[in-house]
Amino acid sequence: MPQIDKTLNNHAGFVKEAPEKPREKCGIFALAGYRGPGRAAMLAYLGLLALQHRGQESAGMAYGSPEGLVLLKGMGLVDRVFRRSSLTSITADTILGHVRYSTTGSSKSANAQPLLARSRDGSAIALAHNGNLTNTAVLHQKLFEEGHIFHSTSDSEIILTYIFQYRRKGLGEAVRKAVSLIQGAYAAVATDGREVVAFRDPGGFRPLVLGRLNGATVFASETAALDTVGASFVRDIKPGEIVSTVGGVLSSFSVPAAGKASLCIFEYVYFARPDSIIDGVSVHIFRKKVGRKLAERIPASVDLVIPSPDSGISAGIGLADALGVPLEWAIHRNPYLGRTFIEPTRAWREAAVRLKFNPINALIRGKRVALVDDSLVRGTTARVLIELLRAAGAATVHLCIASPPYRFPCYYGIDIPVASDLAVPGESLSYLAASIGADSVTFARAEDLYSSAGRGAENYCTACFTGYYPDEGH
Ligand code: SF4
């Protein structure tokens, strides 16, 4: 069985502050052969805005022009990187876009995507990738010994390098050759400015969908991006599938399937937008169902369900519904503040969380409360919210988490803190409850996630809470 490269999160020698929430690596949006009203670049901009939750560190687009492929990218949010006035002057009908959060490779402009490879004869290929390869170190070393000079510290450059090496076979065939060499998680789109090829790893770790808009082909990480640009959903790109589109003609071929389907189940739990549909399952309805399961597990009676803003809303609705108690938006979130995970110390992080949240005392005083969130990583936010609820007069606070505890690292493109930073490195639930100030802590179980998705465990990667890594043959 293939071995996972467990050094990959530091293969470029960087260590970064672990996030308060697990972080998705990237989002992809591509449009091929668009000749409808408006500009393809403006639609790509809207598509990337719809995927902003999947990456906030950098954004970019690549498109064809008479001078060859042009790259437009920078650090920061989509609306900071692109000026709408310059997008309207781009006439290309085919465009590839990307938003990034770094898990391998540091947060710097050289790692912003799409990545571009260009030869002296002017041929060029751009790539946008979501996921993490698991044989990065081996391939990196091999390419290095062959004389390849890397321009980024991202594993995505390895994929691009192989596609570029085989480009004379045609883009689709070059992608097929590249995917025979790489392992791990990838949902990706490549273009030479004319043809666009989308491909998903044989396990299907990361989502990728196909849509249509005014005769053009659209590829996107989530269906919510299709909705945003007015495209119709056609289907998911299948695990192991390579889909090529050129001149309006779509063709598809598949590489041999992996031993096990391995969609990241945390796409449903946390990463994807609630209004997205992944592999036929509504993310919001999945989360509501897990919330209903929590009603069977919570050890005490409550009067009120309060979702953690905004990550506990869908599960909170399900829990309140199943318990037959009201759901209240009893914690106000200030939407104008930045993310808390960049704060360097626990004290600062907690102060930032207090700045962000304020409880509505009149709803809470004297009530037995279930506080609901989708996941628990370091517990910083939960600890402060519980403190705020108690200060607001809550009689009891029972923390309900709509996923099992994180216990193991992710090697497939999700940034989860090291075990020593996790709220639940192996302690008992009563110890955890005491340490974050709750009367009890209830986690959803793995089987709650499977039953809510309507499919068995064999369809998903669950490594970060089970320790069974699909690449290792589990
Ligand atoms: S290890 Fe966890 S976060 Fe990573 S792909 Fe698997 S289920 Fe998703």
What are the residue numbers of the active site?
Answer: 26
For the CA of 460, the closest atom of ligand 1 is 7
268 CB under 6 A from ligand 1? no
Average confidence (pLDDT) over 392-398 = 98
Q: What does the pLDDT look like over 55-92, one tens digit per residue?
A: 999 999 999 998 899 999 999 999 999 998 889 999 99
pLDDT recorded at residue 398: 98
**pLDDT tops 50 at residue 37:** yes
Q: Is 11's pLDDT higher than 60?
A: no
Q: What is the pLDDT of residue 91?
A: 94
Residue pLDDT, tens place only, 238-296: 999 999 999 889 999 987 665 578 999 999 999 999 999 999 999 999 999 999 999 99
Which residue owns the Cα nearest ligand 1 atom 5? 264
449 within ligand 1 shell (Cβ under 6 A): no
pLDDT band, residue 23 (cuts 50/70/90): low
Of 127-141, 196-210, 243-257, the poorest mean pLDDT is in 243-257
With beta carbons less than 8 A apart as the criterion, state whether 130 and 54 touch. yes
pLDDT of residue 4: 57
- The pLDDT confidence band at residue 113, using thresholds 50, 70 and 90, is very high
Is pLDDT at 17 greater than 60 in this prediction? no
Q: Which residue's C-alpha comes closest to atom 4 of ligand 1?
A: 410
pLDDT of residue 414: 81
Lowest-confidence region among 73-87, 181-195, 309-323, 405-419: 405-419
- Please write the tens of the pLDDT for every residue from 223-232: 999 999 999 9
pLDDT at residue 7, rounded to an integer: 47
pTM recorded for the entire structure: 0.90
pLDDT of residue 420: 57
For residue 264, the ligand 1 atom closest to its alpha carbon is 8
Q: What is the distance in A from the centroid of ligand 1 to the CA of 462?
A: 6
Q: Which atom of ligand 1 is nearest to the CA of 408?
A: 1
Determine the straight-line distance between the first and last CA of the chain, rounded to whole angstroms: 10
Residue 14 clears pLDDT 90, i.e. is over it: no
Burial (CB < 10 A; 0-12, 13-18, 19+), residue 219, is buried
413 falls in which pLDDT band (50, 70, 90)?
confident
Domains of the chain: 8-259 (3.60.20.10), 284-454 (3.40.50.2020)
Report the distance separating Cα 176 and Cα 179, nearest Å.
5
DSSP-derived secondary structure for 44-63: HHHHHHHTGGG--SEEEEEE
Whether the CB of 271 sits within 6 Å of ligand 1? no
What are residue 211's DSSP bridge partners?
218, 233
Ligand 1 pocket mutation, candidates 101, 183, 266, 459, criterion most atoms within 8 A of CB: 266
Q: CA-to-CA distance for 9 and 133, rounded, in angstroms?
A: 10
- Section 178-184 average pLDDT: 95
Ligand 1 proximity of 463 Cβ (cutoff 6 Å) = yes
User: How does the average pLDDT of the chain come out, rounded?
Assistant: 88
